[in-house]
Structure 1
């Protein structure tokens, strides 16, 4: 496929600029004409450049807009309004130009004979994978509007999950940045002047003061290395993430780190339970559901555990027995899944578990400030106690010397 940039005019007379991928200029022109555009200019474009421009300059489609779209489309289709008319109305109603262009393109593709799931799959950089999968399942089972309603509810839960994590990380991030900034300010601007004055008095400097002087001197001289070191650490982390064994160990470490593990572990459990609920409600088999969830899980420890659970179920094990073999799944989850299997209410049990772990995340985000605060205060206190001791020791020596004289 080749990338083309185009200038066109839509049915309302508005100038449209964008990029399209097609096998040839003729195919690109036909696709744009089918969308209702009057083509003014079509040029071949570098694929990399096109993606860069598209990502930098196009208006971003927010998760809330996708949730609203799925919910409104479910209501309109459920009321008997044809999908093409629904998409046209929603395209006119939205103020997001990127979403408007996307919906218009989807509408044109459906009018040409494409299914809705195939049409939105071409825009996988806008629509999440779970939406595409559930819509396809809904089309296969005749539950299209219900699938849209379910995915809207699911995405809202995922949005709540993301909001909880952000709230939980705001205070620690601010505390670390503020502490680091204050320490660098002291080392670069304050300490050199104070220690310079003390040195001018001819006092013999103790070891701690000399260490502070050396630290301050190196910070002043090589301050530019700090962002370089941070960048190198980030690059090294990215390289390690490409190695599966290293990535597994990093993900394993995330589940053991103090405080952070509370967020990461409950996030993964909430994601697992919510994905299981929504896919089981959609009518997927358990083994297929676990296969999809394994792809979604970014933590390799959980992914390997889910793959193993899927294999055990394929060989005849119950879900609860398969989950019990892996320590990453807590006893509560295993017990509730066992009840769901016995009573035939797996979707309800996973719904309860999803709500439970989301609530735990909310509680953690509310309490994290109180957990982190004493740690931050202790670290700041130790750092500045060292600095103050380094400054006061030579002053004490000076006063003692004067007193003996």
Structure 2
């Protein structure tokens, strides 16, 4: 009998670590599953005494080494192989040969070894929490349990693809305002530090009385020129203070609440989060993940902490038998259209499909809102610089 050291979580997500006796690795994993634990790592090598499961796992220094685009491609290829009737073990072996990037190949090789040794696919993926998200792992786990691994892989790939598409649309739409802001800011800086000081000497020589706007411009120019180092230091301190403020739980919650209340920007942030919430829930539910578990995963994915905080209210409503639409309405942060569509999905028994429609609807709304916002920002910025 060998002693195996393990790191695992129970069904509530509480971290557990310890050791057990087993003849081999497969038997050790089976014993942990028999205890209703989800193995994260099982090894016959004793871990360092300072190691704690509560700290982020370092898997040979591999952190976020697979890009979102590559992850989508890998997932789609694996889904195709599994759907063709090839065993998961063989599919992973083929996939390792197909992948070109060394980082991805190394991670997939380790995953394949775990699966080949008897570990479940989800448990093998859980060894790389910085590469495979909780959503990814839980959907794979649900697919394995229900015998629908290929559809689950396709759903994950579709979700990742849609998420990246939304991010790309937002980034591409903000490129022009960012360039305009940078060029405008540089032009104003040159104006105050180079052009206006030259006019200042001319005005001094003339000795004529100057209007108030001109005096203000000259004062600002002199102040910036003489105190530029102090201005930079103050700016750096303000940025650092703001970052520190956002890293605090209460600070982030307060700021996200302010964002939701802003004209134009608040509506856009709400639509983005509604789309993200709906697509995540739809993907998880269609893969067989229980609705309470799906809410827990979705809460971690949402960027706006104010909206994420309402997930606790949704869980309580579900436990009381109120469904999803009624608690959503009570939160006051979800738009009526989304709530109405979700209510129809609950009544017709097609909640996952209706959530997908909600996500698609608000994806289009996000694109429309971004275009509208840019059309308003552009003349405002030009007018401000003028």
Which TM-score band applies after superposition, normalised by the shorter structure? 0.7 to 0.9
CA contact (8 A) 1:168 1:368 kept: no
**Corresponding position of 2:255:** 250
1:87-166 map, 5 Å: 87-166=92-171
Unaligned runs of 5+ in 2: 6-40, 48-54
What does 1:2-401 correspond to in 2, within 5 Å?
54=61, 60-381=65-386
Provide closer, same or farther for how the CA distance between residues 134 and 227 of structure 1 changes in structure 2, counting only shifts above 3 A: farther
Q: 1:91: how far off?
A: 2.2
Query: Which has the higher mean CA deviation after the structures are superposed, 318-327 or 202-211?
Result: 202-211
TM-score (norm 1): 0.77
Change (3 A) 1:371 1:209: closer
Residues 147 and 226 (structure 1), Cα distance of their counterparts in 2 relative to 1, 3 Å cut: farther
Asked if the contact 1:248/1:301 (under 8 Å) is kept, the reply is yes
CA contact (8 A) 1:266 1:361 kept: yes
Q: Answer 1 or 2: which has greater helix percent.
A: 1
* Higher deviation after alignment, 249-258 or 221-230: 221-230
CA distance in 1, matches of 2:45, 2:312: 45
Q: Write the distance in 1 (CA, Å) between the matches of 2:239 and 2:132.
A: 28
| Superimposed CA distance per residue, residues 125-168 of structure 1 (whole angstroms, 9 cap, x where no aligned partner) | 22233211211121222211111111001111111111122123
Contact 2:99 2:105 in 1 (8 A): yes
Q: Verify the 8 A CA contact 2:281 2:294 in the aligned structure 1.
A: yes
Question: In the superposition, relative to structure 1, how do residues 234 and 139 fare at CA in structure 2: closer, same or farther (>3 Å)?
Answer: farther
How far off is 1:23 after superposition? 10
Distance in 2 between residues matched to 1:115 and 1:23, nearest whole Å: 12
Deviations, residues 340-396 of structure 1 (Å, cap 9, x unaligned): 111111111101101000111122233333121121122122xxxxxxxxxxxxxxx
Distance 1:288 1:127, change over 3 A: closer
Using a 3 Å threshold, how does the CA distance of structure 1 residues 189 and 312 change in structure 2: closer, same or farther? Answer: same
Structure 1 Cα separation of the partners of residues 314 and 324 of structure 2 = 7
Q: Is the 8 A contact 1:76 1:86 kept in 2?
A: yes
Deviation at 1:196, TM superposition (A): 1.2
Distance in 1 of aligned mates of 2:117 and 2:79: 22
What CA distance in whole angstroms lies between the structure 1 residues aligned with 2:197 and 2:308? 52
- Of stretches 346-355 and 236-245 in structure 1, the one that deviates more from structure 2 is 236-245
In the aligned structure 1, how far is the partner of 2:324 from the partner of 2:209?
72
